[in-house]
């Protein structure tokens, strides 16, 4: 009897030791890492990377106290027709979507690599090697640009402008990837009865042999006439104002509304606190928000105060405003992301904004106005709509507009000025990177109201993982943002440019 009891005790002890051994035995993760390697190969193939451009090394066995796995390394020689950085981001996003919250991705942009890991275990390393760019070939356009500059004083003389009214401001060297040229700057005092617009009208005809065109804008100090070949500025002529009467409606376009008169065209019915369902990310490791400020281009104290704010804000500039180009240039120089704030038809008897696109226009007219607006905003990377309650509800009109945006490689944000908008849906259907607004910050120019909207924005981000907010170039908005942006970090929310939210 005693013997039987001892045998039972020994058996129980052996079973316990066996269970303990199974618990402590390292977990075999090799099948999972092998499957991940196959997924990476498949994604690269989906993005048209040839098989012979992918070098995959056999898995290297690694282990720690709790598991063992294979580390797979890939070298990808990126074809010339693909963008290495874009391919890296596409691989990262696709793999993370397939594995949900299980994997993490760590990028090394300088080394062109992305690593996929679980905890501290690196399962795969993908290194992208971009092709060596061909030698840069630049066209030498200095003689042409100088000849255009020499012709202008003679041309102005034929219009009645004495030579002593043309004051040289200097000659600057300019170059881009394709050409080298000069920019000659002049200050010209016009005689009574001659306007900058009349000067502009005569230049293309008289300089036709040089294939140049002109652009006239009105700024705080005076009118500025640029003579360009393609997108290269050969001559800049500044016409200083003699008096306030010289400024046409304080703007370059007749009928331009004052900043405080701009319609917001937003209301509770159009509010998109939850936004379109497609705009919701599957999973995020970091709460993120994009804040876009609309209606830039007028200058003034609000704009000057804005330059001191976080450059992760995104600034949307209205075309045909007095300081559109200057505002966009300054914003880009300070690290802000720049968008075109494209005027679109509201509907009803609402006042039309200069250069706006309407639903009764054909595709050619929509293209021409959109491209004219884009030319005014240097460094533009995306577009959102200014008003547009009627236009964004028209699928055919939106497609014509979005096709232009797509050709320029820009993203689109639906400002959601109407609950009937189809803009986001049409952008998704065309494959244009896009997102939609969730919260308007400053429908009322009241600081307490704006602060309350900002608190609502934080709640939306915590619910969704990320969100898009829209405010405006207003002193009340800038003041509240200066106080509230630091609150985002305290709430664990990252402020990012709009380009990081679009999909």
In this structure, is residue 124 part of a structural domain? yes
Q: Is the pLDDT of residue 136 over 70?
A: no
Q: Look at residue 71 in the predicted model and tell me its pLDDT.
A: 93
- Specify whether 276 is located in the same domain as 416: yes
Q: Is the pLDDT of residue 221 over 80?
A: no
- Specify whether 287 is located in the same domain as 436: yes
Q: Is the pLDDT of residue 503 over 80?
A: yes
Q: Look at residue 403 in the predicted model and tell me its pLDDT.
A: 95
Please say which residue of 246, 269, 293 terminates a domain. 246
Q: Look at residue 316 in the predicted model and tell me its pLDDT.
A: 97
pLDDT band at 23 (very low <50, low <70, confident <90, very high): low
- Specify whether 354 is located in the same domain as 484: yes
Q: Is the pLDDT of residue 340 over 50?
A: yes
Give the residue with greater pLDDT, 445 vs 364.
Answer: 364
Which range has the worst mean pLDDT, 30-39, 63-72, 135-144, 258-267?
Answer: 258-267
- Specify whether 159 is located in the same domain as 119: no
Q: Where are the alpha helices (DSSP H) in 191-297?
A: 196-206
Phi-psi bin for 331: left (phi > 0), alpha (psi -120 to 50), beta?
Answer: alpha
Task: Say how far apart CA 371 and CA 366 lie, in whole Å.
Answer: 9
CA distances from 278 to 142, 172, 274, 275, 424 (A): 51, 49, 11, 8, 9
Residues making up the chain, counted from first to last? 503
Please say which residue of 75, 110, 129 terminates a domain. 129
pLDDT band at 13 (very low <50, low <70, confident <90, very high): very low
Q: Look at residue 483 in the predicted model and tell me its pLDDT.
A: 92
Q: Is the pLDDT of residue 419 over 80?
A: yes
Q: Look at residue 347 in the predicted model and tell me its pLDDT.
A: 83
- Specify whether 49 is located in the same domain as 196: no
Mean pLDDT (the chain) is 83
Counted domains in the chain: 3
Q: What three-state secondary structure class fits 483?
A: helix
Which range has the worst mean pLDDT, 114-118, 162-166, 208-212, 240-244?
Answer: 240-244
Task: Indicate which CATH number applies to the domain containing 106.
Answer: 3.30.70.1770
Q: Which two tokens stand for residue 43?
A: 């994604």
Torsion of CA 31, 35, 40, 45, to 10 degrees: 140
In this structure, is residue 3 part of a structural domain? no
What is the mean predicted confidence (pLDDT) over 196-210?
Answer: 76
Percent of the residues in the chain that have a pLDDT greater than 90, as a whole number: 42
- Specify whether 38 is located in the same domain as 93: yes
Q: Look at residue 344 in the predicted model and tell me its pLDDT.
A: 95
Q: Is the pLDDT of residue 112 over 60?
A: yes
- Specify whether 222 is located in the same domain as 346: no
pTM to 2 decimal places: 0.53
Task: Say how far apart CA 56 and CA 65 lie, in whole Å.
Answer: 27
- Specify whether 213 is located in the same domain as 164: yes
Q: Is the pLDDT of residue 324 over 50?
A: yes
Q: Look at residue 248 in the predicted model and tell me its pLDDT.
A: 44
What is the mean predicted confidence (pLDDT) over 388-398?
Answer: 94
**C-beta neighbour count of 373 within 10 angstroms:** 23
Which range has the worst mean pLDDT, 17-21, 23-27, 471-475?
Answer: 17-21
CA 2, 6, 12, 13 torsion-angle sign: positive
Task: Indicate which CATH number applies to the domain containing 454.
Answer: 3.20.20.370
* DSSP per-residue string spanning 23-55: HHSPEE-HHHHHHHHHHHHHHHHHTT--GGGEE
Q: Look at residue 359 in the predicted model and tell me its pLDDT.
A: 94
What is the mean predicted confidence (pLDDT) over 194-214?
Answer: 78
Beta strands in 189-263 (DSSP E): 213-218, 222-229, 232-240
Q: Look at residue 265 in the predicted model and tell me its pLDDT.
A: 60
Q: Look at residue 133 in the predicted model and tell me its pLDDT.
A: 65
- Specify whether 82 is located in the same domain as 166: no
Q: Look at residue 6 in the predicted model and tell me its pLDDT.
A: 37
What is the mean predicted confidence (pLDDT) over 369-377?
Answer: 94
Q: Is the pLDDT of residue 21 over 90?
A: no
- Please say whether the beta carbons of 71 and 33 come within 8 A: yes
Q: Look at residue 18 in the predicted model and tell me its pLDDT.
A: 42
Give the residue with greater pLDDT, 339 vs 90.
Answer: 339
- Specify whether 281 is located in the same domain as 378: yes
pLDDT band at 231 (very low <50, low <70, confident <90, very high): confident
Q: Look at residue 328 in the predicted model and tell me its pLDDT.
A: 93
Q: Look at residue 102 in the predicted model and tell me its pLDDT.
A: 72
- Specify whether 416 is located in the same domain as 471: yes
Q: Is the pLDDT of residue 281 over 70?
A: no
Q: Which residues contact 34 (CB under 8 A, 6 or more apart)?
A: 59, 70, 72
For residue 373, give its domain range. 259-500
**What would the pLDDT profile of 49-91 be if each residue is shown by its tens digit?**
899 999 999 989 998 888 999 999 999 998 877 778 878 888 8
Please say which residue of 211, 246, 281 terminates a domain. 246
Q: Look at residue 14 in the predicted model and tell me its pLDDT.
A: 44
What is the mean predicted confidence (pLDDT) over 418-432?
Answer: 92
């Amino acid at each position: 009897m005693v013997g039987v009891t001892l045998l039972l005790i020994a058996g129980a002890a052996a079973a316990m030791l066996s269970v303990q051994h199974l618990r402590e035995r390292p977990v075999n993760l090799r099948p999972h890492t092998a499957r991940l390697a196959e997924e990476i190969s498949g994604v690269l193939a989906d993005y048209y990377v040839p098989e012979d451009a992918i070098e995959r090394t056999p898995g290297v066995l690694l282990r720690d106290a709790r598991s063992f796995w294979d580390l797979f390394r890939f070298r990808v020689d990126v074809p010339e027709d693909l963008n290495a950085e874009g391919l890296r981001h596409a691989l990262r996003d696709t793999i993370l979507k397939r594995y949900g919250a299980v994997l993490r991705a760590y990028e090394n942009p300088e080394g062109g690599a992305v690593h996929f890991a679980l905890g501290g275990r690196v399962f795969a390393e993908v290194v992208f090697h971009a092709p060596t760019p061909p030698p840069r070939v630049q066209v030498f356009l200095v003689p042409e640009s100088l000849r255009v500059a020499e012709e202008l004083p003679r041309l102005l003389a034929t219009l009645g402008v004495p030579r002593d009214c043309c004051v040289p401001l200097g000659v600057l060297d300019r170059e881009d990837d394709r050409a080298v040229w000069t920019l000659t700057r002049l200050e010209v005092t016009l005689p009574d009865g001659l306007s900058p617009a009349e000067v502009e009208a005569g230049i293309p005809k008289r300089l036709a042999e040089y294939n140049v065109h002109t652009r006239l804008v009105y700024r705080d100090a005076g009118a500025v006439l640029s003579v360009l070949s393609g997108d290269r500025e050969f001559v800049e002529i500044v016409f200083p104002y003699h008096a306030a009467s010289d400024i046409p409606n304080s703007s370059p376009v007749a009928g331009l509304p004052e900043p405080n008169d701009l319609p917001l065209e937003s209301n509770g019915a159009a509010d998109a606190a939850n936004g379109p369902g497609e705009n919701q990310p599957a999973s995020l490791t970091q709460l993120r928000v994009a804040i876009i400020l609309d209606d830039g281009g007028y200058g003034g104290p609000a704009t000057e105060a804005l330059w001191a704010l976080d450059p992760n804000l995104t600034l949307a500039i209205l075309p045909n405003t007095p300081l559109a180009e200057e505002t966009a240039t300054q914003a880009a120089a300070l690290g802000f992301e720049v968008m075109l704030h494209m005027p679109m038809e509201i509907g009803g008897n609402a006042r039309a904004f200069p250069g706006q696109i309407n639903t009764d226009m054909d595709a050619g007219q929509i293209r021409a106005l959109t491209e004219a607006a884009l030319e005014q905003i240097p460094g533009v990377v995306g577009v959102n709509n200014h008003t547009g309650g009627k236009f964004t509800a028209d699928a055919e009109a939106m497609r014509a507009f979005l096709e232009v945006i797509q050709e320029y490689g820009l993203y689109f944000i639906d400002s959601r000025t109407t609950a009937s908008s189809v803009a986001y849906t049409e952008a998704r259907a065309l494959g244009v990177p896009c997102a939609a607004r969730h919260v308007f910050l400053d429908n009322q120019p009241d600081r307490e109201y704006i602060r309350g909207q900002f608190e609502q924005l934080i709640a939306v981000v915590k619910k969704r993982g990320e969100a898009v907010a829209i405010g405006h170039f207003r002193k009340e908005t800038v003041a509240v943002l200066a106080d509230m942006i630091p609150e985002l970090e305290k709430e664990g929310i990252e402020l990012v440019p709009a380009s990081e939210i679009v999909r």
